[in-house]
Amino acid sequence: MALIVQKYGGTSVADADRIRVVADHIARTRRSGNDVVVVVSAMGKTTDDLVRLADLVSSTQTPREMDMLLTAGERISMALLCMALADIGVPALSFTGSQAGIITDTDHQRAKIVEIKADRLTEAVRSKTVPVVAGFQGVSTAKNVTTLGRGGSDTTAVALASVLQADVCEIYTDVSGVFTADPRVVPSAKKIPAISFEEMLELASSGGRVLALRSVEFARNFNVPLHVRSSFTWEPGTWVGEEGVAMEQAVVSAVSHESHEVKITITKVPDHPGVAAAIFRAVADQGVNIDMIVQNTSVQGYTDISFTAPRSEMEAALSVTSKAAIGIGAESVSADQDIGRVSLVGAGMKTHPGVTAKVFETLAKLDINIEMISTSAIRISCVVREKDLERAVVALHEAFEL
Amino acid sequence: MALIVQKYGGTSVADADRIRVVADHIARTRRSGNDVVVVVSAMGKTTDDLVRLADLVSSTQTPREMDMLLTAGERISMALLCMALADIGVPALSFTGSQAGIITDTDHQRAKIVEIKADRLTEAVRSKTVPVVAGFQGVSTAKNVTTLGRGGSDTTAVALASVLQADVCEIYTDVSGVFTADPRVVPSAKKIPAISFEEMLELASSGGRVLALRSVEFARNFNVPLHVRSSFTWEPGTWVGEEGVAMEQAVVSAVSHESHEVKITITKVPDHPGVAAAIFRAVADQGVNIDMIVQNTSVQGYTDISFTAPRSEMEAALSVTSKAAIGIGAESVSADQDIGRVSLVGAGMKTHPGVTAKVFETLAKLDINIEMISTSAIRISCVVREKDLERAVVALHEAFEL
């Protein structure tokens, strides 16, 4: 008998019919002899609708009240799911983040879980009742309602799986697993049966949108096996776990891409110690998420520095960088939105030094210029012109026979 | 400096524009030197929409989960109102029933308040912040989310006004006060400037829908002055308070009517002690709300017993009465839906014995038959044919020069 945490995303509970289908699946999982703990997101576009409502009412969207507003979404979906379960004879109880004992810090809209007091959930499981927990939300140490930010429901599920020592955390979504590339770009892309936490982390941070980065980090840190699968097909999806014998050590597991970034370049930066620190401390203090950084070789005491950041943070990045540039005596700051990033991820890369060369050759053959490069032990990322991005993804997917 | 509790109903916060208008009114109340505590209902038809959604999902609407579902409504309206207040520079904080310390019993969907721990509200008021509290909801002694049932937001407001020792509890609704009759039936009906708790109680229980009966009882028991007014006109409405010198002792204050009732009649009931008790104990145990009871004079050891109940409870009433009738050896049970009830309410009635006679004369002149009569010290109610109801209301309103 296993304990399974099942997390259902917004598309999985988008309407009354889908909610009943999910209830059936939970019942079937129980009939197979498992205990189930459910984590649920808000229905379909509920969260977007609530944000739109807030836009209509006010331009002062205080974080505390936005959290109060948005948490109404899961409240609705979890209550409905419990009623659908009651309809087919499965005893269930809904729990808000607060009732589930999910204690967070006081950082509204992107709170971090500091503790989980899971007594009520454990008690429910013991009495053969399915706890249905609101994803994405918690209660702060100051007793205010908080949300965990983007991908928060995945994080709730993984955190609960860890605390409850679940055998697996199933993440149900609208795709049937993790693919070797985005199937919309590469129609021949294949589902990956199993992948390591490290590879999944690199994928999540380089454009793969199936799992939130934070939840994968959490799963790796607490060694919670994940199973990413679709609530539309119910077929086995992708297992994410520790690197091990069961997992094939593919040289390259997947190609991912990201086209929502901007490249900021600071030209003629006086090249002396502390200059880069001055720039990136200022950028970090502004809360801008930097991805890649490249610094040119110094010529006559000057250098150029480029970095990429999410396009949504462009204005903040430009404003803080321009200020910093003046402070250090650099010449100018420019932003380039027409870029894309393609990444190769694979645990086997560590022991196959030829991968980088093959990437460069593949792109060169297509006459695609590489503007920035960054690598980790199991990932290679290249920034190219945005118009070349999809060609690069297709070519690399083919070159590495994925 | 006064402390004012303001309760805004669903129509008062029906959309973004109305929410901003309410925020402005709260700001104005504060500028006049008052502290304000706000209680808010769900926006417009939100609650109805959620009930419809539950109907689509499941036929097993467990009370605990219905409460979880419905309480999403106030969560949305109160967060939006706080943001609208922030927009115009009024510091505000939303509080769920649980956060406001509204502790109830465990009777889901019609919970009763057992205690209010208002520390967080008091603290907010002290720091010149407007607490915006979710109406209609609380948290049970078993730590589950509960709702107070119909008219629950009024009850929340009155209870908070009592605990916080507010100077007045303003109930904002879509009518501008309590009228001498329903203006849709009697166009010449006038707004009543002031009325006693007792009269308001009689009005609320005889068809006046402006205030929930329960909230008036609460206000009377704890002597909380109410001011019923419209959030559309903002003009002074009707004050409800203790009977006093300031209040005119009108012989008759208002005519109310109720057309959603059914008359159940049990014929040929053996007339001996304990028979009525057997019937009405059974009916009460079924949770049916009985209004009027009339028992005919006994003829040859038999009598007929009639009572009225809400039409929505007709089936339950019929089924339990039929069973009881068999038990006591009565002949038959019948239901009549084509009835209506007209009531006259007035504190001055106590000292004016001629009122009852005048009611009967007025109806007799119109050839309207009175089928049942019930009276209290300050109310006379008559059951008539439903088709005669509006004529009776108009005639009585005129006869007593209201």
Please name the residue of chain A whose CA is at the shortest distance from the CA of residue B96: A68
- Kindly state the tokens that stand for A272: 């002396």
Specify the range with the lowest mean pLDDT, choosing from A137-151, A278-292, A324-338, B74-88.
Answer: A278-292
pLDDT value of residue A250: 65
Place of tokens 């695609």: A368
In this complex, the residue of A72, A80, A145 whose CB is nearest that of residue B54 is: A80
Q: What is the set of domains in chain B, with CATH numbers?
A: 3-174 (3.40.1160.10)
A66–chain B nearest CA distance, Å: 7
B20–chain A nearest CA distance, Å: 7
Residues in chain A: 402
Q: What is the rounded (10 degree) CA torsion for A262, A268, A270, A276?
A: 10
pTM of the model: 0.84
A-chain residues near B20 (CB < 8 A): 57-58
- Kindly state the tokens that stand for A294: 């490249």
Spatial contact of B378 and B202, defined as CB atoms under 8 Å apart: yes
Statement: residue B354 has pLDDT above 60: yes
Angle between helices A213-221 and A197-204 (to 10 degrees): 160
Partners of B36 in beta bridges: B4
CA distance A346 to A380: 9
* 3-class SS letters over chain B: CCEEEEEECHHHHCCHHHHHHHHHHHHHHHHCCCEEEEEECCCCCHHHHHHHHHHHHCCCCCHHHHHHHHCHHHHHHHHHHHHHHHHCCCCEEEECCCCCCEEECCCCCCCCEEEECCHHHHHHHHCCCEEEEECCEEEECCCCEEECCCCHHHHHHHHHHHHCCCCEEEEEECCCCCECCCCCCCCCCCECCEEEHHHHHHHHCCCCCCCCHHHHHHHHHCCCCEEEEECCCCCCCEEEECCCCCCCCCCCCEEEEECCEEEEEEEEEECCCCHHHHHHHHHHHCCCCCCCEEECCCECCEEEEEEEEEHHHHHHHHHHHHHHHHHHCCCEEEEECCEEEEEEECHHHHHCCCHHHHHHHHHHHCCCCCCEEEEECCEEEEEEEHHHHHHHHHHHHHHCCC
CA distance B341 to B338: 11
Do the Cβ atoms of B59 and A87 come within 8 Å? Answer: yes
B-chain residues near A16 (CB < 8 A): 53, 56-57
CA distance B65 to B71: 10
In this complex, the residue of B57, B72, B120 whose CB is nearest that of residue A83 is: B57
ipTM score of complex: 0.81
Do the Cβ atoms of A68 and B82 come within 8 Å? Answer: yes
Segment B121-141 shows an average pLDDT of 97
Neighbouring C-beta atoms of residue A158, cutoff 10 Å = 30
What tens digit of pLDDT does each residue of A383-401 get?
999 999 999 999 999 988 8
pLDDT value of residue A246: 46
The three-class DSSP label of residue A312 is helix
What tens digit of pLDDT does each residue of B222-276 get?
999 999 999 998 899 999 998 764 445 667 889 999 888 999 999 888 887 778 8
Question: Is B383 in CB contact (< 8 Å) with chain A?
Answer: no
What tens digit of pLDDT does each residue of A230-269 get?
999 889 999 999 876 445 566 788 999 988 899 999 988 8
